[in-house]
Structure 1
Amino acid sequence: PICQDTGFSVFFVDVGQDVHIEGGSLSDAINEGVRQGYKEGYLRKSICDAFTRKNTGDNTPAVINYDIVPGDKIKIICAPKGGGSSNMSRVTMLKPADGIEGIKNYVIQRVLESGSNPCPPVVVGVGIGGTLEKAAQIATKALLRPIGSTNPDPVLKEIEEDLLKKINDLGMGPEGFGGRFYAMAVHIEKFPCHIASLPVAVNISCHASRHKEIVFK
């Protein structure tokens, strides 16, 4: 691996509503895959009890996000997430009146405070709307897009491009040593939210933006 931190195993799983799974639990199978993969690949085991800090020894349990979708297939995306960049990620509840400019200001402030800690050049995933937990989820899913792809929504596309320019104009550069390229991309996703709130999540990925997809038919 290109970094000693081979990540928390995060999965996004789309299960077709016509699929019937036999012979055990899908979650158990995914965790067994993580267990075997980290052992056979000689990857660092980084998962521990939140209080005792005792390592689980096999990088499980994984974080698994399920969606039920039409069809008869199962799509599994694995996206290992390092600790350094996760430590720089945040969720906040803005006021609806803060609007687009408030969102931009929050993202830029988050990047400024992160500095070199997330090992730039980074990808900045932004989730807007939903609830506190939904904003965090869609910010993470935003990181799964091909680097540099833009949101098909023209408003979000414009915000992505504006934020990318403003972030790189800060001049922090790779590893915070200075330069023009601190961020490789800004990816934004949004979801409807409550009339009284404006949730915003910023999930920063380090330069090792790793994810893999498989589809079972």
Structure 2
Amino acid sequence: MREITAEQIIQTVRDMCIEANCNLNADVHCALKQGLARETNETAKSMLTDILKNAEIAKEEQIPICQDTGMAVFFLKLGQEVHITGGLLTDAINEGVRKGYAEGYLRKSVVADPIRRGNTGDNTPAVIHTEIVPGDRLEIELAPKGFGSENMSRIKMLKPSEGLEGIIDFVVETVRIAGGNPCPPLVVGVGIGGTFEKCALLAKSALLREIGSQNPDPYYAELEKTLLEKINGLDIGPQGFGGVTTALGVQVETFPTHIAGMPCAVNISCHVTRHVSKIL
């Protein structure tokens, strides 16, 4: 049995919150530069140039890439040989978020009640998904999620008879409806299968993959390619001003489902697709 202290988790999460919000991931940065290289629309080129410059300034000055520093979403892989000491795991994660958002001067965007509102003042509580895995390590992955893009996400309980075309039509329609609202170019996470809540979680976790990576199943890798081509043919473009760079990547994750269903969720992420991972 290996011990990890709550204080270790707090400090790690604190640092992750600042890092994720101030330093654009290398894969996103690379995809933006590739988009700039292939764009022919002059307005789109200008938008992508400004987006890249903004990211560089944020990194140099250690200030947020975007004013919406998101709701903190965590994916934890907790080794079953790990013992957390000095406090509860959930409390440690939330305390790390509290410290990170205060000390990093990150915007606090969480309200205490979905209808009655009232800002919690410290960006907690975080959304935490925990998986028990073999081993004696704790892997923490943080994906701050802004709601300009989150609000454009959708889920649909498709009938099996709607087939692959139904999936494609729903994903492309979701991006078309979103238009310029989620600050494209986008990263599009797609979850297929499971149950109502499982496919939504699949779509969210798909956003954690490196842009340009392919689903290991060639069938779904081809679906990713098809969806990306169709989405970039919508002429929404960077910030909605037109062009061929509406999406930087489309990433599909699947799970077995019931004979009577074919759930599909689309989780849209803006050009500031943030995630950072640490292992304790």
Q: Does 1:98 align with 2:162?
A: yes
Residues of 2 paired with 1:213 and 1:102: CA distance?
Answer: 34
Shift of 1:105: 0.5
Q: Does 1:47 align with 2:110?
A: yes
SS at match of 2:187: strand
Look up the match of 1:115: 179
Look up the match of 2:97: 34
Moved segments of 4+, more than 4 Å: none
> Out of 150, 156, 159, which is 2:223 matched to?
159
Look up the match of 2:123: 59
Residues of 2 paired with 1:179 and 1:79: CA distance?
Answer: 28
Shift of 1:23: 1.6
Shift of 1:107: 0.2
Shift of 1:12: 0.1
> Out of 220, 234, 257, which is 1:193 matched to?
257
SS at match of 2:75: strand
Residues of 2 paired with 1:169 and 1:76: CA distance?
Answer: 36
SS at match of 2:83: coil
Residues of 1 paired with 2:136 and 2:161: CA distance?
Answer: 43
Letter in 1 for 2:199: A
Look up the match of 2:193: 129
- Relative to the length of structure 2, the TM-score reads 0.76
Write out aligned runs for 1:175-190 (5 A). Answer: 175-190=239-254
Residues of 1 paired with 2:156 and 2:82: CA distance?
Answer: 37
Q: Does 1:78 align with 2:147?
A: no
Q: Does 1:174 align with 2:238?
A: yes
> Out of 86, 92, 99, which is 1:23 matched to?
86
> Out of 204, 211, 228, which is 1:140 matched to?
204
- Relative to the length of structure 1, the TM-score reads 0.98
Structure 2: where are the runs of 5+ without partners?
1-63
Identity %: 62
Structure 1: where are the runs of 5+ without partners?
none
Aligned length: 216
> Out of 199, 210, 216, which is 2:274 matched to?
210
Residues of 1 paired with 2:235 and 2:115: CA distance?
Answer: 38
Residues of 2 paired with 1:100 and 1:73: CA distance?
Answer: 39
Q: Which has the larger radius of gyration?
A: 2
1:45-83 deviation digits (Å, cap 9, x = unpaired) = 000021221000000000000111111111000000001
